[in-house]
Every structure is written in structure tokens, then in C-alpha cells.
Chains A and B, each alone.
Chain A
Amino acid sequence: MYDEMHDASGAVRPHYQGYQRWLEGIDRERIEQRRAEADLLFRRVGITFNVYGDSSGTERLIPFDLLPRVIPTGEWRMLEHGLRQRVAALNAFLGDIYHDGEILAAGKVPAAKVRQHPQYREVMRGHSVPGGVYAHIAGIDLVRDGAGRYCVLEDNLRTPSGVSYMLENRKVMMQLFPELFDAQRIAPVDHYPELLLNSLRAVAPDGVRDPTVVLLTPGRFNSAYFEHTFLAQQMGIELVEGPDLYVQDDRVWLQTTRGPQRVDVIYRRIDDDFLDPEAFRADSVLGVAGLMRAYRAGGVTIANGVGTGVADDKSIYPYVPEMIRFYLGEEPVLDNVPTWLLENRDDLAYVLEHLPELVVKEAQGSGGYGMLIGPTASKQEIADYRARILAAPADFIAQPTLSLSTCPTFVESGVAPRHIDLRPFVLSGRDVCIVPGGLTRVALKEGSLVVNSSQGGGTKDTWVLEHV
């Protein structure tokens, strides 16, 4: 198991030394007091989960841990390189499979698997998007294995969320511990909304000089609504719902008191299925009728593009390193986690024999639900899961149980190691940019490997040091 703060001999790693000095000089009481203050700040800003159907306003905070996760300069440079490369390849892959399908013809990725994938959008065939960018915002989940090697666990190319926590975590840390930011050079993150807006403006349809960007939300009952309002406000763009927009002459319009206003770029936070009742689910009230017509005619840019889901699926994931070699002619900087596809007979046989050691996931699942963690599962759970696998092997993938790296975290008994991951946000517009760091999630339960907030996970501020 890799400890982010201490090396094998127990010595504090160089990039944590500044933090260690501060930690030695601070007493427990002050930490408790700061923790209460942090809670208050998060509640004021309203970064809370709603518990629906409860009018007493009970809302939960995602637990925030005051101990930051620190990444040294050199490590970040490597990560940044790997992330750029990976997202470039994924965008190239999406452009390819919706056009000539060269990678399929070359036999590097099974053609049937791509074209029959439920997330493959026939409507995107032959449609070219500005700059060839499909995944304008990508959230790439990284973990570290026992040797400390970074691997990509998952690519999120549809509507990745969580960036508002990254921004608010930093704001709160700077407010509570200004002395830490004076003593070290920590790369800033708060220009993210500006980079995002620039990226979105850069992919406006050809010929639009001063593009209007809107953020399309499913509405206030969505669990990420806070983030939608937050980002719209930070970027100074309109937050709209489906009924606020309409399509005329293959253009998208926003009705205002001064008449209709043309919309050039839609940063959408709703899924493909709900975007346009004419093209996808007819019962969708969240979308805009005719939006796909306008999109296909080049009248509007949708970000992320339609049909990106085929590239971030767990069953396509094993082919990403091959995509990097195919499109970029480079070796991948960031490795995948070894993955068994249970549709392959050999893989299936191996996995069924080793269930108690492995993690098995639904290829289409997300949010940490519906997975089997072999080492912590009971015999009965394993037996039940085996039956599910046998009923539809192609729906599942398996991976070795990663030990995930640990980072010191404040817990009841003091400071103890807890498992973490990292989600950097990669923006693609005219060029690719990444705010240093990302969102670090932490599994707060001792020994737990599940960092999802719906399952007892918390977050930490993520520091990329500029001097170590």
C-alpha cells in the first residue's frame, strides 16, 4: 500500500514537509474549531446534498477533510502529460468512429462492439464538430497502486461533475489556513471557470464572433444543481432549462424580454437521452425539440458532444492505450488498471475462479453501485454475484483489487491513513488545459476503498506544489 506522506522508512516525503511542520505546531483543539468553521462555510454557500421529500430542510454536507493531498511538481508534470495524451486520443477515437472508423478497420477495437454499443449514437454518423472536440470536459479518475504508480481507473466523458467541490475546497482552505498558503507555493485553481468559458467559446460554430454560451440544467431537483448554478454564476452565463430554449431555422434561441437571443454553445448537464424529444426519448421534458437538427446543421455546439458515452464505457476502456498508440503514435504515459472483459471466455474462466480476490463491476454502472469487492464480500454475496455474471457475462468487467494509496486524514482517533483517488478535469477547446490538481476523494471508513460521496466518501483540497 502506497502512503502519500511517508516513505517506506516512515520518513515524511519532501513535498509533505512544509505541511508536517505546520501540523506539529497546531493543537487538536484548533483543528476541531477549524473543522466546525469549515462546516459552517460549506453550509452557508450551500454545497449540500438535498434529502428530498423533507421540508424541514435537512441537508447533508459531503464531509470535507482538512488535511490536503499534496502532489509534487514533477509528478504533476507527468500526470498532465498523460492526461493530455489520453484525452486527445479519446477525442480522436470519437471523431474516427463517427466518421471513417479507421481504428475499427485496423482491427484495434472490435467494430461490432462500438457500433452496437447502446451509447453509440447513429445520429452522429458523419457529423463534424468544431475543432474535432467531443469531450470538452473530461474527468479522468486516477488511483495509485501499491508501488505508487498512477493508473487511470475510469474516464468520464459525458457530464463529469465535482469541479465545484474542487473550487470551494480551495476557497475554504485559504480562508481557514492562510498561513499554509503563505509558507508554500501552491498552484492556484480558481481560474477554472474562466478556462472553461474560454474552452466553450472556442468551439462555437464557424463564423460566430462573440458567442453566447448557456448552461443547460435538468433543474433544481437534480443532485448536482448546486454545481450548475455555481458554474453559471462563476462564468457569468445564463443558466437555462429545456423549456427556456427553442429551435427555429436550425438555430437555437433563448427568449428574453428583448426578444429572442441566439445561443451558440450549450454546456449541457443533462444526458444524451433527454436532450431532444424528437431525436431521443420522446417523453423527455428536459430537452429542446429540434436541438439535434440544429446541432447536425452546425447551428449550435453542444458540450460535451452527443455520443461520447461510447468512449467512457468500462468495456471500451481496455482499448484506450491502443487508441493512444494508434492516433498519436506514442506510448501511453498513464497505464490502465488491468481489466478482464468477461465476454471473453478465458477472462471469464479466470475471474470466476478468482472472485474472492477481484473487483467486478457492471460495464454500464457508475457511482460505485452494483460492484463486487471480492476481499470484503461474504460467501453468499460472492455466490449471488457469480449467478449475475453467468446470466450476462458481457455486462461485467473485473479488475484486481487495487490497494489505492492512502493519505493522512483527520478521524475520530486523530490522524490516520485513508484511501484516496484523484479526478483532474481536462478541458479541450482550441487547446487542452488542465487546472493543477483536481478533486481528491477520500474513503473515510477505515479500510474502505469506495470513495463515492453516495457511499461515505469525503473530499480533500488537492495541492500541486510549484517548488518541490
Chain B
Amino acid sequence: MAGHNALLPTARTNEERDWAAPLLITGRHDAYKAEGREINAADVTAYMALDPENPASIHACLYAARENARAVRSTITSEMWEVVNTTWLGLREFDSKVLKFRGSSAFLAWVKERSHLFRGVTFGTMLHDEAFRFNRLGTYVERADNLVRILDVDFNGLVQRTADEATGDYYQWTALLRSVSALEAYRKVYRHQIVPDRIAQLLLLDRHLPRSLMYCVAEVYQALQSVLGSADAAPLRSVMGLYARLDNAVMDDLMTADRTLQLQPLLARVSDVAAQIDATLFAPRLAGTPAPAGLLRGAA
């Protein structure tokens, strides 16, 4: 999540409209407005970056990440723990003054780098066992959910706007691609000018882009299968359904007549997958029955 927040808009156009996007994507728009705050670059950046009261802020995410890492510290490697811990300690170097004075880009670049580093350390040091697959499972469920939300706000917003304004805004489309680290991939795959339908196709259906919905769903499926072992479990059926939907899709099925994406049905399916995983793998422990603690710890 912190990784996504690091991808805040960088181009300056219509300030309020653009800066509402991170609030909408993270579901914090109404709460933010309810506090009577103004939507502008400085305030939204401060809110999304460093506000500990905002559960979707980078600050809150890094805090939660560290607390969770502390709780499962004997399961993760000491290298993973140290990256998370050092990141949390490093966050102290930044406050709203620093952000204002130096601009947020240095901070955001740092967050992205730390997040890439953590992923690298995870792959490079952890046993690729059950605990690792749980890590992957969580990563790809989150990523799928985030991607659909980003598309909902940014992609659909941009399609509607460009229809209104009739200014096929190249920079806005590339910003969207960059925000999910997919601009270079787009160029490689299409070697062609940037058009919305192809962006949607890449981000939803591409099988090789590590942030596409298709890719995330396939990873979730794999991780679940090795964790659960049986093909009959409810979470597997749920994710199979979503996989089949994407596998058979052509772009026209996923779009409305005005070329926006129909994302609510996909979002609902992603949520269902998450809920099924939760109910099967995590809820039993919360209910206090003999506990599948080994789930997070991995069977020895």
C-alpha cells in the first residue's frame, strides 16, 4: 500500500480533481471531506504521506507493517525484519516541513525503493515454503484490489474527462501507467502510441505484467493451491471463477459504450476471494478454536 501511495500525481493540471484521486482510490475521500479539509497538493500529500491518523497513509502502513513484522519475527528472516524496521526508523527523517521544503518526490522515491528492497529481500532470503506462499498470497490479493481501484478512479476518470475536453492527454495516460510501473512494459508490448483501450488491456489481461489483474489472480491461485492442497476449497473456487472470467474476456466485454471500464463486478469478485481466504484460513483462529497458527508460521 505504501508503494502505491508513493505514486501520487506528479503533473499539475486541475488541482482539486487530480488530488482527489489518491483519496478516492484509498477510500478516504469522504472522511477527509468530513473533516472540512481542502483538497490541494500540499494538504493531500501531507495527509497521505505522514498523517498517522489516516489509516491509509504511508506512515500508518509502515507502522502496521513493522508491528506485524514484529509479531511474526521468528517466521520471517532477520534481513526482512531489518528492512522493515530500518524503514520505520528512517521515516523519522521526514516530517511535513521536510516534505514542503524538499518536495515530496525524494520521499516518495525513498518509499518505492524501500518497498522494492523488501520484496527483493523476501525473495532472496526467505525459504520458499508455506510462509513464503502466504506472503505472496497477501501481496497479490492486495495488488489486485489496488489495481482495480486505481483503474476505477484514474482510468475511468480520465476517459470521461478526455471525452469532455477532447484533449487526449498523453501525459495523464503515461502518468497512470507509471503509477503502476507499467509504462516501459506498455512500450515493449505495443510499440505504439498510448491509447486507453490498450492500457486497459495491458493492466487487466496481460499475462506477463506483474501488476496486471490477470497476473495477480494467477499468482493468488497458485499460492492458494499450494497452501490448501485441495482443489475443492471455497477460496480456490472463487479465484477460479475470476480467472475464468478474465481468461475468456475480450476488452469489449469489460467496457461500456462510452469506453469506460466496468470494474464493479471485478472488484466484487476480488473482494469475494479475499473474504473466502479470510474465512477459510484466518477466521478459525479468531474464533478461538484449536488454532491454525501454523498457517502463518508454516508447518515445520
Contact = CB atoms under 8 A, between A and B. Distances in A.
Interface string B83-107: 0011011000000000000000000
Contacts of B88: 57
A233 B127 CA distance: 13
B285 interface: yes
Nearest to B70: A220
B279 interface: no
B288 A243 contact: yes
A43 B88 CA distance: 11
Contacts of A43: 85, 89
B297 A239 contact: yes
Main secondary structure of the interface of A (DSSP, over half): mixed
B148 to A, nearest CB: 28
A260 B291 CA distance: 10
A258 B294 CA distance: 9
A9 interface: no
Contact of A44 (B71, B82, B130): B82
B300 interface: yes
A257 B63 contact: no
A244 B291 contact: yes
Given A55-B52, A57-B63, A57-B88, A257 B299 contact: yes
B46 interface: no
Contacts of A253: 290
A135 interface: no
How many chain B residues sit at the interface, stated as a range, is 20 to 34
A232 interface: yes
B70 A239 contact: no
B70 A46 contact: yes
B32 to A, nearest CB: 20
A246 B63 CA distance: 32
Nearest to A235: B74
Interface in B258-300: 281, 285, 288, 290-295, 297-300
A45 interface: yes
B78 A233 contact: yes
Nearest to B71: A220
Nearest to A56: B52
A312 interface: no
Interface in B25-72: 52, 63, 66-67, 70-71
A27 B24 CA distance: 57
B294 A243 contact: no
Given A55-B52, A220-B70, A233-B78, A255 B294 contact: yes
Nearest to A260: B290
B297 A258 contact: no
A246 B293 CA distance: 11
B300 A244 contact: no
B290 A255 contact: yes
A261 B288 contact: no
Contacts of A215: 74
Contacts of B285: 243
A54 B299 CA distance: 35
B85 A254 contact: no
A357 interface: no
Interface residues of A, number: 32
A418 B130 CA distance: 50
The winner among A215, A239, A260 for most chain B CB atoms within 10 A is A239
Given A55-B63, A57-B88, A212-B300, A257 B70 contact: no
A2 B130 CA distance: 55
B227 interface: yes
Contacts, number: 87
A440 B104 CA distance: 46
A228 B228 CA distance: 29
Contacts of A261: 294, 299-300
Given A57-B88, A244-B293, A255-B293, A233 B288 contact: no
B290 A246 contact: yes
B71 A256 contact: no
A256 B89 contact: no
A238 B297 CA distance: 7
A229 interface: yes
B62 to A, nearest CB: 10
A223 B193 CA distance: 58
B73 interface: yes
A256 B299 contact: yes
A257 B130 contact: yes
Contacts of B294: 238, 244, 254-258, 261
A212 B291 CA distance: 18
B81 interface: yes
Interface string A259-271: 0110000000000
A240 interface: yes
A243 B85 contact: no
B73 A233 contact: yes
Contacts of B75: 239
A232 B74 contact: yes
A421 interface: no
A202 to B, nearest CB: 19
Nearest to B86: A44
Given A46-B81, A55-B63, A233-B74, A243 B293 contact: yes
Contacts of B229: 257
B287 to A, nearest CB: 10
Interface of B: 52, 63, 66-67, 70-71, 73-75, 78, 81-82, 85-86, 88-89, 130, 227-229, 281, 285, 288, 290-295, 297-300
13 contacts: A46-B70, A46-B82, A55-B63, A212-B300, A230-B74, A233-B73, A243-B293, A254-B293, A255-B292, A256-B292, A256-B295, A257-B130, A260-B290
Given A57-B66, A225-B70, A246-B291, 9 more contacts: A45-B82, A46-B82, A57-B63, A233-B73, A239-B75, A240-B293, A256-B295, A256-B298, A257-B281
3 tightest CB-CB pairs across the interface, nearest first?
Answer: A256-B294, A244-B293, A256-B299
